[in-house]
Structures are given as structure tokens and as C-alpha cells.
């Protein structure tokens, strides 16, 4: 006898389930290559969660539903999990991109009013309403690219008032966009001009004033631990203050120069340590023997046109839990495309396509403590799906320059469709089509 469910997604050309491995926990080494692909696959959904996956024939024998969506011709996989983003900003910075293309370095751009401090000024001047509007638009754009869960940082205000405004804008925007989201306070992103000559005082303000104020509206605290920015001692002060306030930890570290930031993050029990272009052998060993996830951001190196990609192969072979993220931000990585990140990771860091899929689904989910909810298509998890208009899962990374995402499904409901000429016959009420996402309507 057939069991009744709410919805069936059937006839997926390929269904990438990642059910060949454990439902929870990070995947390392060879386990990163196990995808659990089902041809002519199907997903049964009830109350927004996966009841079963299998071949379409098996699922239709066992289940029936009042709503059935035929995804014939599409590749379907878990929604992407982007675990390092900076979507709370008021203005873009294309002028400094043009300067960089013409050969300007960081100091020249900074002297011309660019860099993080440019974003800081824009956020400080923006009204809360404007910041909510721009952040909401950015959140919808993640859905356009098949991303169903993100980690989202503040960090462009660099004052108590502006960081509170940033976290409030993020909270308000997230409430109206069907996107899973974790919030990160990043007041220790840079030193504002008024404290450039009194850096310890700014660290005190972050620890004693900002963290207590934003902790109720933040899941994480992050710090830019890097020579020339926050020293190891200053970073530890910030992170320990965050732990005392009940926040979990994420760390920008070892991006430009090695400073032992990875070892510090592991010692403090951070859920992730990110960038890692200059991670040391000692840092790799520490990471491999921990549950801290190494989050690699190849889009940043690509966009800045610099050498220094993280040593992904060395890290994976050492047993590190590795994730990939976009680092979406207005200055150094203005992309929300996980499929583009796949291309860069494959071509520049020599990751395999299978490893890239794992690194943009279950491993980042684990880094956000959401691996029991998303990241694979095991029964019981949220039915978050990315529907791709590509011939096979092997087209991820191979095909670049466009957006292959035809539809994004959150909690078992199609919430956004990009390809008007390829839309299946049925959509849930309220699905956003094409450019309507920008208005959030």
C-alpha cells in the first residue's frame, strides 16, 4: 500500500544524494568522492523534509502525493551551503576593481578612498531601511544560484552603532527570504580610522561593548587574524570574549602571511578557519586532527589576480575537513556562484568535481552545525534541492560563465526558478521567477 506524502520530485536525470556516506559529520579524504548518484531519481517530501530517495520507479511504488513535479532532464543535488559570505553592505566597489585592473596596489586604492574603509563609510551613512533592502536583495541572489543555506557576516560598520545596525538589517532581511542562515559578528574585521593609532582600545571596545550588545542577534563571532590587522594576541582576546558571551567561533586566518592562526583557531575550538592561502604544515596537521573545518575561498584569489591559492590537495590528503565558499563581498570576491567556485577549485587547486560537491554541501553544513538538517539527501533532513540544467553532475565545474541553476527548492517548495523556457508545469504558490527575486516579491 502506498504511503501519502506532500510532494514528489520525480524523473531527475541524476539525483546526487551523498547518501553513500554518513548522514552527519565531516567527510575527509576518499569519503569526499562518494556522491551516491541515482539515475532517474526521485525524492518524497513531507512537512518540508525528505521521507525517501530512490529511483522514480521505486518511489512511485511506495508513495503517492497530491503534488508531483517532473524534473525530467535535470540534475538534482542538495542545495549549496555557502559558509563564508559578507552580504551586509551598502555600496559596491567597482571603481577600485578598475584601479586594480590598471595596476594599482592595495595602498594606492586605500589612499584613493577604497578598501574595507570605503564599505565602512557607506554602512555608517546608510539608513537601516536601505541596509535591509540591499541585504534582502543579496539573499535572494544566493537562491538564484542554488544556495539554500549561508553564513552571513557583518563587519563593515566597525563601530558599536553600525555593527548593531548591520546585524539588525541581516535579521530583518533573513526573516522575509526563504534561505537558511547563520549570523556572524565581525567587528574585528579591520581597525577604523579613529582607532588606527590606539588599536588596543578598539579591541577593548569590541570585547567589552560590541560583543555583549550583538551576542543576542549573532550565532558566531569572527576575527581577521593576520599580521597588519589583528595580532594573534588581539585575536585571542576577541575570540575568548565571544566564547564567554555564548557565541561560537569562526576565524579569518593565514590568508596573506602565516601567523599560527589555524593553530589558534583549532585550540579555541572554532567551527571553521577560513582563507588559508598561507597555512603552515603545522597548521595543516592541527586541522587534520580536529573538527575545525578549513574553508577555502578560491574566488578571492582569482578576483584579486594574485598567487596564493590554499593547498587544497595537501590538506585533503592530510585528512583535513575541507569546505569551499564564495566569500561574497563588495571588494575582493563579488560573486555568489558556487558553480564558478567549483571551476576555480578544480582548475587552480586541483580538487576533483566530487570533492567540490562535498565541499559545498555536507562539509560546510557541518561547519555551521547544520549537518543534521542539510548537506545531504538522507531521510529526515530538510528537502533543500538545487536543480541544475546540465547533462550530468560531471558538468559542475566544467561548464562556467553562466548560471546552470534552473530552480531552487527550499523545505520541499520551489522558491525560485531562473529558466523561464525550462520551467516545469507545476510550482508551489509564491515561487519567484527570474528577475522578480531582486524585489523580493
Condensed to tens digits (0 to 9), the pLDDT of residues 36-45 reads 999 999 999 9
SS3 186: strand
Question: Residue 434 above 60 pLDDT?
Answer: no
SS3 10: strand
Question: Residue 435 above 80 pLDDT?
Answer: no
SS3 134: helix
Spatial contact of 171 and 163, defined as CB atoms under 8 Å apart: no
Degrees to nearest 5, angle at CA 339 with 333 and 342: 85
Q: Give strand pairing partners of 354.
A: none
Q: Give strand pairing partners of 388.
A: 75, 405
pLDDT tens per residue, range 201-221: 999 999 999 999 999 999 999
Domain ranges (residues) in the chain: 3-78+373-439, 80-367
Q: How confident is the model at residue 23 (pLDDT cuts 50, 70, 90)?
A: very high
Please determine, looking at this structure, whether the domain spanning 80-367 carries the CATH number 3.40.50.300: no
Percent of the chain with pLDDT over 70: 94
Query: What cell does 438 get?
Result: 531582486
pLDDT tens per residue, range 91-130: 999 999 998 899 887 668 877 778 888 999 999 999 999 9
The residue behind cell 567556485 is 341
Question: Residue 268 above 60 pLDDT?
Answer: yes
pLDDT tens per residue, range 297-330: 999 999 999 999 999 999 999 999 999 999 999 9
Question: What's the rounded Cα separation, in Å, for the pair 262 and 187?
Answer: 20
* CATH top class, domain 3-78+373-439: mainly beta
344: enclosing H helix or E strand: helix 338-349
| 323 exposure class (CB count in 10 Å sphere: 0-12, 13-18, 19+) | buried
Question: Residue 429 above 50 pLDDT?
Answer: no
Q: Give strand pairing partners of 72.
A: 12
Percent of the chain with pLDDT over 90: 88
Average pLDDT, rounded, for the chain = 94
Q: What is the pLDDT of residue 358?
A: 98
Per CATH, 3-78+373-439 and 80-367 having the same topology is answered no
Q: What is the pLDDT of residue 440?
A: 29
pLDDT tens per residue, range 231-241: 999 999 999 99
Residues in the chain: 441
Q: How far is CA 263 from the centre of its chain?
A: 23
Q: What is the pLDDT of residue 109?
A: 83
Among 205, 206, 216, 204, CA closest to 245: 216
Question: Residue 381 above 70 pLDDT?
Answer: yes
Segment 389-399 mean pLDDT: 95
Q: Give strand pairing partners of 275.
A: 253
Question: Residue 157 above 70 pLDDT?
Answer: yes
pTM of the model: 0.95
Spatial contact of 122 and 166, defined as CB atoms under 8 Å apart: no
Query: What cell does 104 get?
Result: 594599482
Amino acid at each position: 500500500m502506498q504511503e501519502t506524502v506532500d510532494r514528489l520530485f520525480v524523473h531527475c536525470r541524476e539525483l546526487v544524494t551523498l547518501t553513500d556516506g554518513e548522514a552527519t559529520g565531516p567527510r575527509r579524504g576518499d569519503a569526499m568522492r562518494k556522491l551516491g548518484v541515482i539515475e532517474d531519481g526521485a525524492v518524497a517530501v513531507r512537512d518540508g523534509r525528505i521521507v525517501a530517495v530512490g529511483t522514480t520507479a521505486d518511489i512511485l511504488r511506495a508513495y503517492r502525493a497530491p503534488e508531483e513535479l517532473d524534473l525530467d532532464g535535470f540534475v538534482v543535488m542538495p542545495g549549496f551551503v555557502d559558509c563564508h559570505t559578507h552580504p551586509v553592505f551598502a555600496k559596491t566597489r567597482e571603481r577600485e576593481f578598475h584601479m586594480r585592473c590598471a595596476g594599482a596596489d592595495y595602498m594606492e586604492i586605500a589612499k584613493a578612498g577604497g578598501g574595507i574603509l570605503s564599505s565602512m563609510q557607506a554602512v555608517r551613512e546608510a539608513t537601516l531601511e536601505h541596509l535591509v533592502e540591499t541585504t534582502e536583495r543579496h539573499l535572494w541572489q544566493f537562491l538564484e544560484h542554488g544556495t539554500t543555506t549561508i553564513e552571513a557576516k557583518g563587519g563593515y560598520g566597525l563601530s558599536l552603532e553600525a555593527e548593531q545596525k548591520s546585524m539588525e538589517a541581516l535579521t530583518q532581511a533573513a526573516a522575509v527570504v526563504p534561505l537558511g542562515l547563520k549570523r556572524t559578528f565581525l567587528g574585528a574585521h579591520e581597525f577604523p580610522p579613529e582607532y588606527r593609532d590606539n588599536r588596543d582600545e578598539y579591541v577593548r571596545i569590541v570585547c567589552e561593548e560590541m560583543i555583549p550588545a550583538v551576542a543576542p542577534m549573532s550565532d558566531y563571532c569572527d576575527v581577521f587574524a593576520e599580521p597588519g590587522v589583528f595580532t594573534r594576541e588581539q585575536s585571542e582576546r576577541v575570540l575568548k570574549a565571544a566564547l564567554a558571551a555564548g557565541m561560537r567561533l569562526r576565524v579569518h586566518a593565514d590568508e596573506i602571511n602565516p601567523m599560527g592562526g589555524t593553530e589558534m583557531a583549532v585550540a579555541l575550538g572554532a567551527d571553521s578557519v577560513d582563507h588559508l592561502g598561507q597555512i603552515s604544515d603545522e597548521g595543516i596537521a592541527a586541522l587534520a586532527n580536529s573538527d575545525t573545518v578549513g574553508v577555502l575561498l578560491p574566488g578571492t584569489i582569482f578576483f584579486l589576480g594574485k598567487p596564493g591559492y590554499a593547498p587544497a590537495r595537501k590538506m585533503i590528503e592530510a585528512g583535513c575537513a575541507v569546505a569551499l565558499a564564495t566569500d561574497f563581498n563588495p571588494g575582493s570576491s563579488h560573486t555568489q556562484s558556487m558553480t564558478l567556485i567549483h571551476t576555480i577549485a578544480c582548475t587552480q587547486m586541483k580538487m576533483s568535481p566530487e570533492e567540490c560537491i562535498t565541499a559545498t554541501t555536507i562539509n560546510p553544513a557541518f561547519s555551521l552545525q547544520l549537518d543534521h538538517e542539510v548537506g545531504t539527501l538522507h531521510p529526515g533532513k530538510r528537502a533543500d534541492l538545487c536543480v541544475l540544467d546540465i547533462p550530468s553532475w560531471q558538468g559542475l565545474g566544467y561548464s562556467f560563465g553562466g548560471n546552470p541553476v534552473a530552480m531552487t527548492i527550499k523545505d520541499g517548495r520551489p522558491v525560485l526558478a531562473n529558466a523561464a523556457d525550462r520551467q516545469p508545469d507545476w510550482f508551489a504558490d509564491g515561487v519567484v521567477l527570474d528577475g522578480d527575486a531582486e524585489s523580493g516579491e
